[in-house]
Amino acid sequence: MRLTMIGAGYVGLVSGACFADFGHVVTCVDNNDDRIRGLEAGEMPIYEPGLDRIVASNVAENRLRFTTDLATSVAEAEAVFIAVGTPSRRGDGHADLTYVHAAARLIAQSLDGFTVIVTKSTVPVGTGDQIEAIIREERPDAEFAVVSNPEFLREGAAIDDFKRPNRIVVGTTDPRAREVMQEVYRPLYLNQAPLLFTDRRTAELVKYAANAFLATKITFINEIADLCERVGADVQDVARGIGLDNRIGPKFLHPGPGFGGSCFPKDTLALIRTAEEAGADLRIVSAVSDINQIRKAGMAARVIEALGGSAEGRTVAVLGLTFKPNTDDMREAPSLSLIPRLQEAGATVRAFDPQGMKPAMPMLPGVTFARDPYDCATGADALVIVTEWESFRALDLARIGDVMKQPLMVDFRNIYPPAEVHSHGFVYRSVGRPRLDRGEAVS
């Protein structure tokens, strides 16, 4: 099939490359000339493991190309995917649909024959109706169907998620559109991926509801971690104990400094605003959003407390800047709340991240960016682990302790067993687990 992807950002590029890998002929369109030139030269605008290889192989096979020519690409396509950004609108938290509406108008002008227009962008309930109305206004003669097909890609594991999905949700009641979408995803038949057809509004809501539920699960275990610290329990064992219940499951029960990224913060807020407009009260989701902001803002206080109550004149080494490992995405990253507050408290901050330093530099003025974890830790009064990159999981703790001014670790991701860190002479602070000071026995 001939598919066109409007938007060559995270969702559009990953989806387009994977569709091409299935054997479809895909054109990715973007109005950013520099991005298109970079992609044509093999330069990825984002970091996603394995994406560069898939893009290169499909470009070589003439199944994937990049262009700024939207009109020709739309006219040739059997299905056109809208994969543009929907950031939170300043001031009220609603999803900003400016780019979606603009894409709909441009698509309308170029339609040639029956075309399925698929919304991949995360959009509020009713956006498909708006897209349909825009296109009908622009082109009353056009033959088309608007479909909702939300993405469920985890940054850092997006290619595997696309090729081995838990589910594929398609929102349409148009029989011709349903047939086209079945053909689009037919290559996944051997993987027996569940293809769930719903009406369009239901599909739009599935995406927001899924992200809100996962955000709730993260916030729940973070609050349990706080309780564990007060009563002397271990949140890792609590999470394991409840996660073994099949009704709950172990995923997203990892306590930390709060959720970030391009989806959970934005989507929970957009869902709350949608509910407010509809006259529904999402008290749980509202609490999740508020609690997460408070949690991220409170992480600096934990570091300062570990430093004895003052960060003035201290050097803090921060390992991990991105909101999660295996991505260079800094959107809503906990480090963006932590580091400025440490600086305001008088600390000097050194930082290292395998992929996030370049995008972080303009966001974190005054931070010294290190060559590696050991360079980062040199002369530091505290080592703070913010992102659980695999390369941070097996550090030489003896070497780290030797180069630090004092051996203090604040492990916001609980990636080290307390006893192991303590055996190297560290004062150890984690999330929801017993704190250990030098000279204390390990139970």
Residues labelled as active-site residues: 263
For residue 43, count other CB atoms closer than 10 A to its CB: 12
Instruction: Specify the residue for token string 């959009």.
Output: 123
Largest CA distance in the chain: 80
Contact assessment for residue 185 and residue 195, using Cβ atoms and an 8 Å cutoff: yes
- For the chain, the C-alpha Rg in angstroms (whole number) is 24
Cβ atoms of residues 181 and 172 within 8 Å: yes
**Around Cβ 214, how many Cβ atoms within 10 Å?**
17
Q: How many CB atoms lie within 10 A of CB 309?
A: 8
What DSSP element (H or E) covers 228?
helix 200-231
CA distance 147 to 178: 9
Do 221 and 253 form a contact (C-beta atoms < 8 A)? yes
Q: What is the DSSP letter of 390?
A: G
Give the β-pairing of 195-198 and 144-148.
unpaired
Which of 91, 433, 98 is CA-nearest to residue 273?
91
Using CB atoms within 10 A of its CB, is residue 378 exposed (0-12), middle (13-18) or buried (19+)? middle
* DSSP H or E segment with residue 135: helix 127-138
Half-sphere exposure of 30 (CA within 13 A, CB side): 24
Residues 73, 121: Cα–Cα separation, whole Å:
19
Give the list of residues 6+ apart from residue 290 with CB closer than 8 angstroms, or none.
Answer: none
- Return the SS3 of 56: helix
